[in-house]
C-alpha cells in the first residue's frame, strides 16, 4: 500500500466532508453553519491542493483545477463572512449567510468532482 496515495485520498475526502458539514442546514440560520468548520474546510482544501501540484497527468490537471475552484469559493466565503461580521457594525444577516453558504456549495460541487475523478481513476488503475 502506498502511504502517499492514502494521504492524498484522505485529504480529498476530508475536504469534501468538512465542506458538506458546513453546507448542510438552513441557509439563513447561523446556528447551522459554524465558522470554524468553514475555516477547517478551507485549510484542508488548501492542503489537498498543495498535494495535487506534483501530478502532471491529464487527470492530475483536472484534479488540480477542481481543487483550485474549491479553494477560490471557500476563500470568497471566508472573505464574505469576515466582511459581514467584522467590516459591518451589524450582526451577520441572513443575506450574507446565504451568500456564504452558496459559495460553500460551489466548493462542495468542485470537491465532489475531485472525489468522482479520484474514484474513477482508482477503479481504472491497473497494477
**End-to-end Cα spacing for the chain:** 12
- Residue spans of the domains in the chain: they are 3-124
- Take residue 49 and report the three cell numbers written for it: 491542493
C-alpha closest to that of 11 among 52, 60, 44: 44
pTM (2 d.p.): 0.90
| Element of type H or E holding 51 | helix 35-52
What pLDDT is attached to residue 53? 84
CB proximity list for 18: less than 8 A, separation 6 or greater = 37, 40, 41, 44
Block means of pLDDT (10 residues each) for the chain, 127 residues, are 86 95 87 92 95 82 94 96 87 88 96 93 77
Residue 92 backbone zone (phi > 0: left; psi -120 to 50: alpha; other: beta): beta
- The angle subtended at Cα 104 by Cα 76 and Cα 48, nearest 5°, is 85
Q: Which long-range contacts (CB under 8 A, 24 or more apart) does 80-89 make?
A: 81/35, 81/38
Amino acid at each position: 500500500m502506498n502511504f502517499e496515495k492514502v494521504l492524498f485520498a484522505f485529504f480529498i475526502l476530508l475536504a469534501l466532508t468538512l465542506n458538506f458539514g458546513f453546507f448542510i442546514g438552513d441557509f439563513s440560520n447561523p446556528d447551522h453553519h459554524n465558522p470554524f468548520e468553514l475555516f477547517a474546510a478551507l485549510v484542508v482544501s488548501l492542503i489537498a491542493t498543495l498535494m495535487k501540484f506534483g501530478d502532471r497527468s491529464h487527470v492530475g490537471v483536472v484534479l488540480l483545477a477542481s481543487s483550485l475552484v474549491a479553494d477560490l469559493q471557500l476563500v470568497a466565503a471566508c472573505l464574505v463572512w469576515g466582511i459581514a461580521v467584522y467590516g459591518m457594525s451589524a450582526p451577520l444577516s441572513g443575506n450574507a449567510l446565504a451568500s456564504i453558504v452558496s459559495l460553500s456549495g460551489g466548493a462542495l460541487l468542485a470537491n465532489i468532482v475531485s472525489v468522482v475523478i479520484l474514484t474513477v481513476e482508482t477503479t481504472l488503475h491497473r497494477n
